[in-house]
């Protein structure tokens, strides 16, 4: 593992922990400069191809998903850890499906369900684009549904 401070290749593992998704967090110390840093390991499972609405297929892109969620959570009290957890839940859900191809709607539905629990304003921001709420009446209906639940 390369040290992010001095780029030396030698480090020792100080602590190892596991999370609920099977990821491994290792706390490391560089043997050259003495700085401490964390590394994360996660199993590499095959993610399905994403079938877009126009029929185009593309590989699942974790960073693209995280970027979209970050945009909807901008200036909201949502931590980076919460966003990363939601991205991980969506990704692991796709992997557990065991399918070669999945509709982009499946991803959108998983994200919108996660955002609804995480932050209602972020949910509305995402829903405006995802659900195509292109007029004020549709937006009001969605907000009314949120207020009723």
Q: What's the pLDDT score for residue 146?
A: 81
What region, left, alpha or beta, does residue 81 occupy, with left being phi > 0 and alpha being psi -120 to 50 degrees? alpha
Residue 23 and residue 40 in contact, taking contact as beta carbons nearer than 8 Å: yes
Q: Which is nearest to 81 in space by CA: 132, 127, 19, 143?
A: 19
Q: What's the pLDDT score for residue 26?
A: 93
Residue 111 and residue 126 in contact, taking contact as beta carbons nearer than 8 Å: yes
Residue 51 and residue 103 in contact, taking contact as beta carbons nearer than 8 Å: yes
Q: What's the pLDDT score for residue 64?
A: 94
Chain centroid offset of residue 29 CA: 28
Ranges of the chain with pLDDT below 70: 20-21, 43-45
Measure the CA angle with vertex 32, ends 2 and 38; round to 5°: 45
Q: Which is nearest to 1 in space by CA: 37, 34, 33?
A: 37
Q: What's the pLDDT score for residue 47?
A: 81
Residue with tokens 């480090």: 11
Domain residue extents for the chain: 11-41, 49-148
């Amino acid at each position: 593992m390369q040290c992010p401070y001095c780029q030396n290749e030698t480090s020792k593992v100080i602590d190892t922990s596991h999370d609920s998704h099977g990821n491994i967090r290792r706390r490391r110390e560089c043997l050259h400069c003495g700085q401490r840093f964390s590394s994360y390991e996660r199993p590499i499972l095959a993610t399905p191809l994403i079938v877009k609405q126009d029929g185009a297929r593309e590989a699942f892109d974790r960073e693209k998903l995280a970027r979209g969620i970050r945009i909807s959570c901008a200036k909201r009290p949502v931590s980076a850890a919460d966003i990363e957890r939601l991205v991980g839940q969506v990704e692991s859900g796709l992997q557990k499906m065991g399918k070669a191809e999945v509709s982009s709607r499946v991803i959108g539905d998983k994200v919108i369900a996660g955002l609804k629990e995480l932050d209602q304003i972020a949910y509305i921001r995402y829903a405006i684009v995802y659900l195509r709420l292109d007029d004020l009446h549709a937006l009001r209906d969605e907000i009314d549904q949120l207020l009723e639940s």
